[in-house]
Amino acid sequence: MGAEAIMSEHIAVTDTPEGIRLIRIDRPDKKNALTGAMYDAMRDALVKADASEVIGAIVFAGATGAFSAGNDLADFVAGTRKPFSDAPALQFIRQLARTRTPMIAAVDGIAVGIGTTLTLHCDLVYASPAARFRMPFVELGLVPEAASTYLLPRRVGLLKATEMLLLSRPFDADEALGLGLVNAVMPADLLLEHALAQGARLASLPRGAVQATRALIRGDQAAMEAALEAEAVAFEERLRAPEAQAAFAHFLGRAKPA
Ligand code: COA
């Protein structure tokens, strides 16, 4: 990483000799909940990976037992005072959707909210048996993000996507495997090694062919980004809604007695 890299104490970015950029989320005491500074550091790492001539794959990993508990809910509360269009979360999501370098996720433990929707943008996803996915946006008074309303129905079908997004139904590693949301389930101690090996393979292939094939597989980029932006408009409205504020306050232990 150059000296100009955006740093966060909870995001460790490491480049390997094989041309892999490892982005490790490292805030285990908060189950890897993501703050604005963490989103900024991850966005910067993606932008610079695309600009690099030596990085051929990106691997996202979390801490033991926590890939990510999603957006930091205290940040959601603080964020309602500013336009969502400037929010680091949205800037990260936009960059995630347009990153050209192939991306791999290694998911151990909980993957909530963006912890799950991030994986929909990854080209390969590996999970430990302890992986637990959940997108509780509606429960929180919000709407889904990261183009998940577009990507998920195309992966798992409309009815399964509705259960996951409208009912916030959790699913485990085996179900994710069955639904084609992960490539393989493997013991936690082999997970990162396997993801890095696949990253090394991707990084060793002709870069232009990898990026062009990836774009062809992914399909209609403009439609996916349009969904992402439509979600962002709805998300901003929802963030300010009393029901969302009440859900955040409840989690943060500040709910007033009834
Ligand atoms: N935002 C802020 N803090 C969070 C967080 C989040 N999204 N997720 C977890 N934390 C914090 C907890 O407040 C707790 O902090 P504390 O030790 O200072 O009290 C710490 O992380 C550990 O979480 P805890 O709830 O005790 O762990 P758990 O193993 O019992 O449960 C989760 C883990 C992920 C199921 C639970 O923390 C949870 O539901 N988090 C919220 C997930 C969420 O709604 N994310 C937003 C999606 S859009």
Q: What percent of the chain has pLDDT over 90?
A: 90
Ligand 1 residue neighbourhood (C-beta within 6 Å): 30-31, 33, 69-74, 110, 112-113, 136-137, 140, 251
Cα(230) to centroid(ligand 1), Å:
27
Assigned domain for 149 exists: yes
Mean pLDDT across the stretch 188-210? 98
Nearest CA to ligand 1 atom 19: 30
CB atoms within 10 A of CB 256: 7
pLDDT at 255 (0 to 100): 55
Residues 194 and 108 sit within 8 Å (Cβ to Cβ) = no
Assigned domain for 25 exists: yes
Domain count, the chain: 1
Assigned domain for 196 exists: no
Cα(40) to centroid(ligand 1), Å:
21
Does position 204 have pLDDT exceeding 80, yes or no? yes
Q: What percent of the chain has pLDDT over 70?
A: 97
Nearest CA to ligand 1 atom 21: 30
pLDDT at 6 (0 to 100): 79
Assigned domain for 201 exists: no
Among the atoms of ligand 1, which is closest to the Cα of residue 66?
Answer: 34
Assigned domain for 107 exists: yes
Residues 20 and 203 sit within 8 Å (Cβ to Cβ) = yes
Cα(33) to centroid(ligand 1), Å:
7
pLDDT digits (tens, 9 = 90+) for 104-148: 999 999 999 999 999 999 999 999 999 999 999 999 999 999 999
Assigned domain for 202 exists: no
Predicted model pTM: 0.96
CA distance readout (Å), 120 to 77, 126, 183 = 26, 12, 12
Among the atoms of ligand 1, which is closest to the Cα of residue 252?
Answer: 13
Among the atoms of ligand 1, which is closest to the Cα of residue 110?
Answer: 34
Mutate to test the pocket of ligand 1, among 30, 39, 134 (most ligand atoms within 8 A of CB): 30
pLDDT at 78 (0 to 100): 84
Q: Calculate Rg over the CA atoms of the chain.
A: 17
Assigned domain for 106 exists: yes
In sequence order, the 6+-apart residues with CB closer than 8 A to the CB of 187 are 128, 129
Nearest CA to ligand 1 atom 1: 72
pLDDT at 5 (0 to 100): 75
pLDDT digits (tens, 9 = 90+) for 10-45: 999 999 999 999 999 999 999 999 999 999 999 999
Q: Name the β-bridge partners of 27.
A: none
Among the atoms of ligand 1, which is closest to the Cα of residue 134?
Answer: 47
Assigned domain for 37 exists: yes
**Which residues constitute the domain of residue 9?**
4-189+209-251
Nearest CA to ligand 1 atom 29: 31
Mean pLDDT across the stretch 42-53? 98
Amino acid at 169: R
Across 51-55, 217-221, 254-258, least confident range? 254-258
Query: Distance between CA 239 and CA 93 in Å, rounded?
Result: 17
Query: Distance between CA 184 and CA 145 in Å, rounded?
Result: 25
Nearest CA to ligand 1 atom 18: 30
Does position 165 have pLDDT exceeding 50, yes or no? yes
Task: List the CATH number of the domain containing 127.
Answer: 3.90.226.10
